[in-house]
Amino acid sequence: MAADHGVALEFDLQPLVHLRGWPRQRVLQSHARLLRLQRKYGFPATVATNARSMLDLRSPREMAALTRLFGMGEEETLRALATPPALSGRRREVP
C-alpha cells in the first residue's frame, strides 16, 4: 500500500488554472478519482500549483477554492497544504 511505503499524492492545480473546456474537465475527473482513493486508503496528499512564474502563484484561499472543484473539503485541503511535498526524499514524476 502507498501509505505503508511513504508514498504521497500531489494534486497539481496548475492545469485547473490554465486549461479550459474538456481537458480541464478530464483533470477534474482524475483529481476526484484520486481523492476517492486517498480517502479510502489514507495515504498522505499535498496540493501544489507547480508555478512556473510569479503569475502562477496562488494564495492558500485560492488553492482551497480550486480543490473544492473536485470535491476536497476544507479540512482535507488544510491538511494537504500542511503536508510537505517531499515526504520520501527524491521527487518522482508520474506520467
Domain boundaries, the chain: 3-82
Question: Regarding the domain delimited by 3-82, which CATH topology (the fold level of the hierarchy) does it fall under?
Answer: TIM Barrel (3.20.20)
DSSP 8-state secondary structure symbol assigned to residue 25:
H
What pTM does this model have?
Answer: 0.81
Question: What mean pLDDT, rounded, does the chain reach?
Answer: 85
Closest CA to 28 of 72, 59, 74: 72
70-89: per-residue pLDDT in tens?
999 999 999 998 877 655 34
Tell which phi-psi region holds residue 24, choosing left (phi > 0), alpha (psi between -120 and 50) or beta.
Answer: alpha
